[in-house]
Amino acid sequence: MAVVVEEKEQKEQKENEKEEEEAHPYAFHVSGPRNVAKPNWRDLINSSWKDTNYKRSVIACFIQAVYLLELDRQENRTVETALAPKWWMTFKYKLTQTLIDERDGSIFGAVLEWDQSAALADFVLIRPSGAPKAVLVLRGTLLKGPTIRRDIEDDLRFLAWESLKGSVRFKGASEALRTVAERYGSSNVCIAGHSLGAGFALQVGKALAKEGIYVDAHLFNPPSISIAMSLRNIGEKAGFAWKRLKSMLPSSSEPQADCDEEIKDNSLKSWLGNIYGDKASMGLKQWVPHLYVNNSDYICCHYTDPEGKTEENEANKENTGPTNGQVAAKLFVMSKGKQKFLEAHGLEQWWSDDLDLQLAINKSKLISRQLKSLYSLPASQVTKRPR
């Protein structure tokens, strides 16, 4: 009798957990996209992955899955009640690796790979064109007790130095991305992140691009504010003001000579840039990340600031900027008027049905600065005479 009662209680507990999962605000059928189709046989004829809106929505869902992986871990959810799997299984992907922060044991990223077995069950015989074989997804900050300390630590790292290379997460993400790129080929791999995760994705993708490994990158609400950037902006403005002041002072023969030397130096750089142009701009040509920002989100809104002209930019434009119509990144901007911060910075907006995006035409000052090293002519090439 006791056994029967116990079994009944266990059954009722499972039913209650199932009902809770179905009603959970983060359940896929509750807060997931409404008009994003599951892969089917029609994708063999006309792949949904070639639609930029579809691709953006699905990749945003993958990032949501990583947030939920960590929440599932924190709340001790079972395989039956876990919220995360639906966010990748719906699109015929499977979890092959979780990235663990060794400092607190939290999940900060995951590798999802195309699940051919699941696809066959829906008569999808091959992977649709445009669908990546593997996606490395990285979450942002979770304001929850078990992981908030390490998340904030990396937030402050970026705020202070505009670099995340000192974090264990940078190392783990780099190794994971390099592994799947070597296994499947970089053209079949994608990296994506939201907020802090987008900051990691941008810097990891850039580091691998310098090694000649170019992967598709999708960055949602990437951080754009740092003390280092603010100080650099102040320094640039002060330097520009000093140059303007000097230009107003009476000239002498010595400064004129310096000016002649500067002109010669710029001519030399331009000449070397023509010689090494293809090699110097190789990274830019082959690695163009996609950035998704909201004008009402003060964390990422500075990406929409256009690059203004300064004397330094004009002097070095042959050597430090995109040429021949090349672009540093594809910047998608959403503006719905004034929004609350949590709404403007949220991930859910990127798979919503009423999304109105504009591809920014102007050149972003911040993007150019962050990707500058990919297409700058190395100093060694400027100082050394070509043979």
Give the structural domain span for 53.
23-236+287-303+327-353
Q: How far apart are CA 225 and CA 308, in angstroms?
A: 18
**Looking at the 3D structure of the chain, how many domains does it have?**
1
**Is 194 within a domain?**
yes
Q: Is residue 78 part of a domain?
A: yes
Question: Any residues with CB less than 8 A from the CB of 107 and at least 6 apart, and which?
Answer: 66, 69, 70, 73, 98, 99, 100, 101, 139
**Both tokens assigned to 208:** 């691998």
**Residue 110 within a domain:** yes
- Mean pLDDT score across all residues of the chain: 77
- The band of 15, judged by pLDDT with boundaries at 50, 70 and 90, is low
Is residue 371 a part of any domain in this protein?
no
Instruction: Supply the CATH number for residue 202's domain.
Output: 3.40.50
**In the block, residue with structure tokens 């990919």:** 374
**Section 18-22 average pLDDT:** 53
Kindly state whether residue 58 falls inside one of the protein's structural domains: yes
Confidence of residue 250 (pLDDT cuts 50, 70, 90): low
Looking at the predicted structure, is the pLDDT value of residue 204 above 90?
Answer: yes
**Which of residues 163 and 261 earns the better pLDDT score?**
163
Within-domain flag for 214: yes
State whether residue 147 is helix, strand or coil.
helix
The angle formed by the CA atoms of residues 241, 242 and 246, to the nearest 5 degrees, is: 120
Whole-prediction pTM: 0.76
**For residue 180, is it within any domain?**
yes
CA torsion angle 364 366 370 375 (round to 10):
30
Amino acid identity, residue 318?
E
Instruction: Please report whether residue 341 resides in a domain.
Output: yes
| Residue 311, pLDDT above cutoff 50 | no
Q: How far is CA 202 from CA 165, 213, 318, in A?
A: 11, 13, 25
